Amino acid sequence: MIFIGDALFEGGNDYPAVEAGVVCIPVRGPGETKLVIKAIAACLASGTS
């Protein structure tokens, strides 16, 4: 599982994912989230990890 969130800091609404030990990618909003997802999808499609 990979969690993408903009509030991964202590007290942020995404912080429980950090506490659970999930791999997290911090972003600054919906546009950046879209770029991260596209990059992950491209890596998976090309077989790059």
Question: 1-49 pLDDT, tens per residue?
Answer: 999 999 999 999 999 999 999 999 999 999 999 999 999 999 999 986 6
pTM attached to this predicted model: 0.85
- Domain positions in the chain: 2-46
Instruction: Look up tokens 């912080």; give the residue.
Output: 15
The total number of residues written for the chain in this structure: 49
Both tokens assigned to 35: 């770029």
End-to-end CA distance of the chain: 14
CA distances 43 to 8, 16, 37, 47, Å, are 24, 27, 10, 6
